[in-house]
Amino acid sequence: MESHSRSKALIDLEKLNTLNPEGCPACGRKFELGELVVLACGNWEGECYIHEDEATFDRKTSAYYEQRYYETMKERSS
């Protein structure tokens, strides 16, 4: 499993140019230089970078999830 800190990144110019055409898949906002982002699972295929404040870290799986997606997963497993 990926570690908590290896899933985090700062938006640099390369990531900014790559990610900003679509923006953040969790909230739709554009990314800014120097912002902290995390690789997270959500209602999309695979992992995507999203704003850290849109993510929840699950200690059991050692992974980040988009908050609404995580809440839905928890409700379904209850």
pLDDT at 1 over 50: no
State how far the Cα of 76 lies from the Cα of 17, in Å rounded to an integer. Answer: 37
State how far the Cα of 41 lies from the Cα of 13, in Å rounded to an integer. Answer: 23
pLDDT-derived band at 3 (thresholds 50, 70, 90) equals low
State how far the Cα of 19 lies from the Cα of 64, in Å rounded to an integer. Answer: 18
Domain ranges of the chain: 8-77
Contact (CB, 8 A) for 74 and 58: no
Amino acid identity of residue 64, one-letter, is Y
On average, the pLDDT of the chain sits at: 92
pLDDT (tens digit per residue) in 7-41: 899 999 999 999 999 999 999 999 999 999 999 99
